[in-house]
Structure 1
């Protein structure tokens, strides 16, 4: 080695200067940041499109409930597919309208007595409190303050009324979207699902299809089980209400049935409303008895019906259910609390399947989904295919698949550049 030659400095391994734990933490950190950003973007998009997303989610639940009815009409009674879907949806509308009508009549008949009892009870309670604590002057002062605040906030009240009208319009639009989607989900669920799967890369279609099948089974099990549990709650609490407020027993039962679809929270709130109604109508003793009835029904539902009926179909720990309801209510209010648990159950099943754990191995993988772009019972599409040079034949294609890639130029004779 000559003096003109220089010795290169030794290379240092910079990765060795960083402890492995720090490198692992940094690797996990940027991945978690990306996942958090993706989840935040999805939630923001869902909130932006809530007028569409919520009706579609409601339509999915309604489709799960009405699918057995549509199958009986279509497969056993030989009713055409479209007509069976329409009859199923019309039957649901008739049942809901009938329940609302009965509940409205019961409320109208029982509200007068309940109002009289409530006013008399309130007057008696107020007279006792006024005689004891001298609240009449304070009440007069509070009423004057309330009137002054109402006069100062007239503009806000008017804007709030306009906002309520806009909300009612959004609810009406959402109901129409839900009914429209429910009909087509009942009419051609396989065609719609195959179209969605067909948008994915070819290598992912089959796994997504099988994961979606298992998610649909989970959603169906949850929905039907929740309907049965809600019916048991409504019947039990409604029977208890018959002995105290017979004229309001049916509205209370309907309210409990609807509220039971929100896990944990719905049953508590609706049960409390039933107890308060009995308290106003019949006093403390009847209210305590009604409270015992509500607690008994809810204990039977939570400790016997829920574990037995859900089984392995919706395997969510109670802690996961509570956290899902809390997160859903914080993110989207009542709507989030309603859809949090079924969404968590479906995601649990889908993610487990994609990671190699099949909760429903009996479904198998034989149901390969053809990627259809038309309805299952749509008429064939007439096409003119060339059998041989110079001869045209009319034929019909019954199923057009997105996976079928025609070979360009296969029918054109060689050497003919115009074809």
Structure 2
């Protein structure tokens, strides 16, 4: 079930982000098929570039991170006294786990071919669906109206449009915030002369799509790479850059941008991320918020329909009585 559901949701998210390009190209004489193909090609190039930068940066820095952790632990232990011994012990354990992870990644390439095949298959399916959604999505309302009764069809179309608008708002707002975060953190890492800064910026960009958790994880990786390549001082400066950008995001960008695109309370977002990660891991955390936003959009449409039905029923009951006639009490 997940093999079919996840590509469909990813395709809907991609379509909601890219769909505004379709009217722009169609107005300039580009056919819908060609416009959808060009948009998908741009999507493949962007995603491929981000992944290539990320993999190159992490593969280059992983051994240095494993070597730099115990050195940082020794320095912190000397500075913090008794508390430093606990930090040194934790970093020694982290070194062992990092080395084991690198070894497992190196030795597990063949065993991971099955997973890679499933990911590639899902990606191709999602890309194909994006193409068809972009090319033929404008026909969906008419198709729904041709198969369902008029009143039901209008409700279904309204729910689908509201859910799509909610996903589009999440994708546009999150993408803008991700670009701003990645840009400034990349500039900061370049100024600190941290190798692989573009790849770390790509990681920050990807992490922004997982609220709260993604920013923490991507920032941690950036600080670890700075620690491995430049020492403790560079790592502290990198930490300052990451914290400054995240504070600006949380206090300025999120309220300014997301309040106009996604009407979700922060507590709702946190619960959605935790629930999504518990159900489907990282992918579930990635998809949880847009799916939740779409669901709440559908609920708002249905509430409006129920409210209108109740008001219509009351008006009909009032119109059925003669002027001045009061409603008779119900006999029990």
Task: Give the TM-score band, short-chain normalised.
Answer: 0.7 to 0.9
* Residues 180/228 of structure 1: CA separation in 2 closer, same or farther (3 Å cut): same
Instruction: Quote the offset at 1:193 in angstroms.
Output: 5.0
Partner of 1:343, secondary structure, is helix
Instruction: Quote the offset at 1:181 in angstroms.
Output: 0.4
Q: Output the CA distance in 2 between the equivalents of 1:180 and 1:117.
A: 39
Number of the residue aligned with 1:60: 12
Partner of 1:188, secondary structure, is helix
Number of the residue aligned with 1:84: 35
Q: Output the CA distance in 2 between the equivalents of 1:357 and 1:273.
A: 48
1:301 aligns with 2:261: no
* Residues 125/205 of structure 1: CA separation in 2 closer, same or farther (3 Å cut): closer
Gaps of 5+ in 1: 1-48, 134-138, 144-157, 359-419
Superposed, which structure 2 residues align to 1:53-132 within 5 Å?
53-75=5-27, 77-102=28-53, 111=60, 115=63, 119=67, 122=70
Number of the residue aligned with 1:179: 127
Q: Output the CA distance in 1 between the equivalents of 2:130 and 2:70.
A: 47
Superposed, which structure 2 residues align to 1:154-233 within 5 Å?
164-195=112-143, 199-200=147-148, 202-233=150-181
* Residues 251/203 of structure 1: CA separation in 2 closer, same or farther (3 Å cut): same
Which residue of 279, 285, 293 maps to 1:337? 285
Q: Output the CA distance in 2 between the equivalents of 1:107 and 1:349.
A: 39
Equivalenced residues, count? 279
Instruction: Quote the offset at 1:221 in angstroms.
Output: 1.1
Instruction: Quote the offset at 1:116 in angstroms.
Output: 5.9
Instruction: Quote the offset at 1:107 in angstroms.
Output: 6.1
Instruction: Quote the offset at 1:275 in angstroms.
Output: 1.0
Q: For residues 9-47 of structure 1, what are the alpha-carbon distances to aligned partners after superposition, in whole Å with 9 as ceiling and x for unaligned?
A: xxxxxxxxxxxxxxxxxxxxxxxxxxxxxxxxxxxxxxx
Aligned residues of 1:107 and 1:247 also touching (Cα < 8 A): no
Q: Output the CA distance in 1 between the equivalents of 2:278 and 2:272.
A: 10
Superposed, which structure 2 residues align to 1:346-361 within 5 Å?
346-356=294-304
* Residues 280/197 of structure 1: CA separation in 2 closer, same or farther (3 Å cut): farther
Q: Counting helix residues as a fraction of each chain, which structure ranks higher? A: 2
Partner of 1:79, secondary structure, is coil
Number of the residue aligned with 1:9: none
Q: For residues 79-117 of structure 1, what are the alpha-carbon distances to aligned partners after superposition, in whole Å with 9 as ceiling and x for unaligned?
A: 111111111111222233344445566667xx37x8568
Instruction: Quote the offset at 1:294 in angstroms.
Output: 1.0
Q: Output the CA distance in 2 between the equivalents of 1:349 and 1:176.
A: 29
1:257 aligns with 2:205: yes
Q: Output the CA distance in 2 between the equivalents of 1:198 and 1:53.
A: 25
Q: Output the CA distance in 1 between the equivalents of 2:152 and 2:69.
A: 66
Aligned residues of 1:238 and 1:250 also touching (Cα < 8 A): yes
- Tell which structure's C-alpha radius of gyration is larger: 1
Cα RMSD of the aligned pairs, angstroms, is: 3.1
Q: Output the CA distance in 2 between the equivalents of 1:124 and 1:224.
A: 39
TM-score, with structure 1 as normaliser:
0.60
Q: For residues 196-231 of structure 1, what are the alpha-carbon distances to aligned partners after superposition, in whole Å with 9 as ceiling and x for unaligned?
A: 565555531111211222222221111100000111
Instruction: Quote the offset at 1:234 in angstroms.
Output: 0.7
* Residues 104/167 of structure 1: CA separation in 2 closer, same or farther (3 Å cut): closer
Q: For residues 256-281 of structure 1, what are the alpha-carbon distances to aligned partners after superposition, in whole Å with 9 as ceiling and x for unaligned?
A: 00111011110111011111111222
Number of the residue aligned with 2:196: 248
Aligned residues of 1:197 and 1:208 also touching (Cα < 8 A): no
Superposed, which structure 2 residues align to 1:130-141 within 5 Å?
none
Which residue of 217, 220, 228 maps to 1:269? 217
Q: Output the CA distance in 1 between the equivalents of 2:305 and 2:50.
A: 43
Q: Output the CA distance in 2 between the equivalents of 1:330 and 1:100.
A: 25
